[in-house]
Amino acid sequence: MQALVQRAMGVLAQIEAWLPPAPPAIDWTAQAFRWQRRGARGWLDAVHRIAPIHLDDLQHVERQKSVLERNTRAFLEGKPANNVLMTGARGTGKSSLVRALLDAYGAQGLRLIEIDKSDLGDLGQIIELISGRPEHFIIFCDDLSFEEGEAGYKALKSALDGSVSSPGDNLLIYATSNRRHLMPEYMHENLDAQHQPDGEIHPGETVEEKISLSERFGLWLSFYPFAQNDYLDIVNHWLAFHGCTDSQIQASRPEALQWALERGSRSGRVARQFARDWAARQL
């Protein structure tokens, strides 16, 4: 009998060696967190080195900035606030706005939890972890979109609006996407008067199901490509940030336009990339 017990203990020790380590204790002093998963275990990993950006650094998105800032202030003050979906042109400041809000309101109790789309099925665990905390948390998912059958789709719908349990007053979901309805749509789905090859009897209801997720975000903010002068304004801002003189900034104009032309985009991201390159060469 003793030999059998020892053998069982040995087997258990081998199994334990293969299990992922226990999640570390959460460092609630941090202002930002990243949801991490290893095997069956997930935890909030504190982020202490946050990429710096300020609200004043984001140019020519004044309307979107004011709406998002107003919603976030209401959230921090305990007033009604909405989940937010930001869609539109790439590189126009959607993700940067969320990080800039943390810079502006972190001292007032705002906290940010970054989560990958593939881990959205863990939203229930995250809600349990932050339930009852005095801070106000924004769960942030960047470049959100879904393909057919992805598991996180249903979990996000439930967390936004539809679950019998409340996510609490200290949680909002902010997401960015280049796709307004978050899932692909096809021309044949609009032909609901015809029989479909896949046997779907009510294809119109399939379309409604796809649209319903984005409708659960209370605020939609759209971002658009910048005009040429707007793009140059952003370039000038970042060149001044890096210490370039007025004469150097004026001399950069032709190269800034060529830089945007080569990349096929006049976005804020392209403007900042050019400013880094130009400033490095001039300084």
pLDDT of residue 187 exceeding 50, the answer is no
d(CA 280, CA 194): 61
Co-location of 206 and 258 in the same domain:
no
Residue 274, domain extent: 228-282
Distance of alpha carbon 111 from the chain centroid: 13
- Please name the amino acid found at residue 172: L
Are 234 and 266 spatial neighbours (Cβ–Cβ below 8 Å)?
Answer: no
CATH code for the domain of 185 = 3.40.50.300
Are 51 and 99 spatial neighbours (Cβ–Cβ below 8 Å)?
Answer: yes
Answer with the residue of higher pLDDT: 34 or 145.
Answer: 34
Co-location of 48 and 122 in the same domain:
yes
For the record, the structure tokens of 40 come out as: 């069956």
Q: Say what the pLDDT of residue 202 is.
A: 46
240 domain residue, yes or no: yes
pLDDT of residue 198 exceeding 90, the answer is no
Q: What is the pLDDT of residues 20-33, one digit of tens each?
A: 556 678 889 999 99
Are 157 and 181 spatial neighbours (Cβ–Cβ below 8 Å)?
Answer: no
d(CA 110, CA 80): 16
Co-location of 128 and 182 in the same domain:
yes
Count of the separate structural domains present in the chain = 2
Residues 6+ apart with CB under 8 A from 30: 46, 47, 48, 111
Q: What is the mean pLDDT of the chain?
A: 81
Q: How confident is the model at residue 13 (pLDDT cuts 50, 70, 90)?
A: low
Answer with the residue of higher pLDDT: 167 or 114.
Answer: 114
Average pLDDT over residues 230-252: 95
Average pLDDT over residues 126-140: 91
Q: Say what the pLDDT of residue 161 is.
A: 65
Q: Which of 172, 189, 223 is the last residue of a domain?
A: 223
23 domain residue, yes or no: no
Co-location of 181 and 117 in the same domain:
yes
Q: Say what the pLDDT of residue 244 is.
A: 93
Co-location of 191 and 166 in the same domain:
yes
Q: What percent of the chain has pLDDT over 90?
A: 47
Q: What is the pLDDT of residues 39-88, one digit of tens each?
A: 777 889 999 888 889 999 999 999 999 999 999 999 999 999 999 999 88
Q: Say what the pLDDT of residue 138 is.
A: 95
End-to-end CA distance of the chain: 78
Cα dihedral value 127, 128, 134, 135, nearest 10: -30
Whole-model pTM: value is 0.79
Co-location of 105 and 202 in the same domain:
yes
Q: How confident is the model at residue 177 (pLDDT cuts 50, 70, 90)?
A: confident
Q: Say what the pLDDT of residue 66 is.
A: 96
